[in-house]
Amino acid sequence: MKCDVTDIPAFQASINRAAEHFGGLHTLINNAASDTRHDWAEVTPEYWDDRMAVNLRHQFFGIQAAVPHMRKGGAGSIINIGSSSWMIGEHYFPAYATAKAAIQGLTSTLARNFGPDNIRVNTVLPGWIFTERQLEKWVTPENEAACMAMQCLKKRIYPEEYNQTILFLAADDSGACTAQAYVVDGGRRGL
């Protein structure tokens, strides 16, 4: 189902339609984002608000639409996608990094709220995942060498590896996991 996550009424309606179509809702993965590079000195209030809408705001309102369906089903798993970029101080997208840092606050707060309903809320914080977009826009030999110098694991991380953490959190196997942040970055941010 196509949906603009910055159009909150349409986004919430899409979640409700999906729940109706599938006879309930057990898992919500808040994954929409944009890591467009920007210079802090050129950020306008409008650009800042747009980055918050694209990278953070929809996660809260997606949860707001999903939780009633999860309560009805007696359980659920909410997986918010953050980023480890703010943990290592990547400097080329301050609005994105701010939004991604805020996601852990959202996760921690809502995990406490929804725990009594058997609804788990976790964050997955990917490092540099070599998606098609990253390969097209940002990967250069120099950038990749700098990444590998920081990572403990000297290899590219592809979506298939990152997705395994998300699948674990969506499954009953992670039934005792909530309010956690799972970093999938090859050890880039260190210990």
Q: Where are the domains of the chain?
A: 8-126+168-184
Helices 94-114 and 45-52, interaxial angle, to 10°?
40
**pLDDT > 70? residue 167:** yes
Q: How far apart are CA 25 and CA 173, in angstroms?
A: 18
- Choosing from 47, 96, 158, 162, the catalytic residue is 96
Which 8-state DSSP code applies to residue 30? E
Q: What is the pLDDT of residues 100-111, one digit of tens each?
A: 999 999 999 999
Q: Lowest-confidence range among 31-45, 65-79, 159-173?
A: 31-45
Residue 87: how many other CB atoms lie within 10 Å = 20
Q: How far apart are CA 66 and CA 184, in angstroms?
A: 25
pLDDT, residue 138, reads 86
CATH of 8-126+168-184, one of 1.10.760.10, 3.40.50.720, 3.40.50.740, 3.40.250.10: 3.40.50.720
Strands 181-184 and 119-126: parallel
The predicted model gives 150-158 an average pLDDT of 95
Q: How far apart are CA 182 and CA 124, in angstroms?
A: 5
Q: How far apart are CA 86 and CA 16, in angstroms?
A: 32
> In the structure, what pLDDT confidence band is assigned to residue 88 with cuts at 50, 70 and 90?
confident
> In the structure, what pLDDT confidence band is assigned to residue 87 with cuts at 50, 70 and 90?
confident
Strand partners, 27: 77
Q: How far apart are CA 123 and CA 103, in angstroms?
A: 7
Amino acid symbol at 95: A
**pLDDT > 80? residue 190:** no
pLDDT, residue 119, reads 98
Tokens of 60: 């809260």
Q: How far apart are CA 152 and CA 186, in angstroms?
A: 6
158 is an active site residue = no
Helices 58-73 and 8-22, interaxial angle, to 10°?
30
pLDDT, residue 31, reads 94
> In the structure, what pLDDT confidence band is assigned to residue 36 with cuts at 50, 70 and 90?
confident
What length is written for the chain? 191
